[in-house]
Amino acid sequence: MIMHVGNPPPVSPRHRTGRQAPGPAPNLRSSPRGGPRWSPWCRWEVSALLLGLLFLAPALLAQQSRLGWHGETMPVGLAKGEAEGEYVWKKDGAIMVYVPPGEFPMGRAGGAADEGPVHRVHLDGYYIDKYEVTWGQWKKSGLPYLEKPNPRLPQPSSPDWGIVDDQPAVNVSWKFAQRYLAWAGKRLPTEAEWEKAARGTDGRTYPWGNEPPTFDRAVWRDHPVALRGTESARCCTAGASPYGVVNMAGNVYEWCQDTYRRDFYAHSPASNPLEEVEGQQRVLRGGAFVLEKDELSSTYRYRLWEVDKTPYIGFRAVVSGQGGG
Ligand SMILES: [Ca+2]
């Protein structure tokens, strides 16, 4: 069979049926043995093409891997991170980890009245920020903030210890946090999502287990750095949760999506629970650098109004989605 490479020869109307037009092929010439033979130019073109594919293939495969094209449905906007099990939300650069779908025991027996009853909750899969949202990320959003402490204005404002890029953004009201989340394309965790990300599925008291807090695991009021304010959002990695989420106990309290209801656990749906009633206070979780260690428990529930902002409150974000490959 004769093959044509390069510009095709002119085709007369009677040859427009897919059949090869007669006439000499421009890049082929007869071999001494009578059969068609590749010209040197043609061989060079094919070699270059094969060589290009050889170099491009690993890059294409890596791109597919980052995008989760191996049967996964990773959220758009997420890329694989450098470390195993870590992802990067491209808009704000946040490191995220995956919490797979499944049940966990929510609540605690013997705690405060609103921490019970212990009940099983099923959650769909989601990705959650590994660290609290930092001032550096807030600046990246271009949203307003105040360089000096000012509790009377709605914008997030500097705490007494100043704005430090790797420390959590504080003095952020629930309402103002929504502006960051809208920019980033993420949302707050539900109370159930926050608790599962903090303590996993084995009913532990703290993210690291049941032992009392230590200075390498959490920042609370007994911690030496607490005298000065918050610590880096990347501190206390020894206190990471079973999913690798850091500072779920202490540093800053974190806003959740839910409005607070004292007896919610007695009535909440068994799957993906969310309580939102207009005019009610919003839930905060995890304790803060100004608080006692009892409030660092992963089941402890606190609440404030949507417009409240204090130097010990921040937030982290989640994205719904399957994957985690
Ligand atoms: Ca925290």
Nearest Cα neighbor of 124 from 181, 64, 75 is 75
- pLDDT given for residue 54 in this prediction: 54
| Cα distances (angstroms) measured from residue 275 to each of 102, 261, 325 | 20, 8, 31
34-44 pLDDT, tens digit each: 444 555 555 66
Q: Does the pLDDT value for residue 223 go beyond 70?
A: yes
Give distance in angstroms: CA of 192 to centre of ligand 1.
Answer: 16
Residues with CB under 5 A from ligand 1 (ion): 247, 251, 286
Give the C-alpha separation, 65 to 74, whole Å: 11
For residue 156, name the pLDDT band (cuts at 50, 70, 90): very high
Span from the CA of 215 to the centroid of ligand 1 (angstroms): 14
142 CA distance to ligand 1 centroid (A)? 23
Q: Which residue has the higher pLDDT, 20 or 235?
A: 235
CA 35 – ligand 1 centroid, Å? 76
Using the mean position of ligand 1's atoms as its centre, give its distance from the Cα of residue 286 in Å: 5
Domains of the chain: 43-73 (no CATH), 74-324 (3.90.1580.10)
Q: What is the pLDDT at residue 18? A: 35
CA 321 / ligand 1 centre spacing (Å): 23
Residue type, 8: P
pTM tops 0.85, yes or no: no
Sign, CA dihedral 229-230-236-239, equals positive
- pLDDT value at residue 294: 87
Q: What is the mean pLDDT of residues 86-99?
A: 97
Is the pLDDT confidence value at 13 over 50? Answer: no
What is the torsional sign of CA 303, 251, 236, 142? Answer: positive
Q: What is the mean pLDDT of the chain?
A: 85
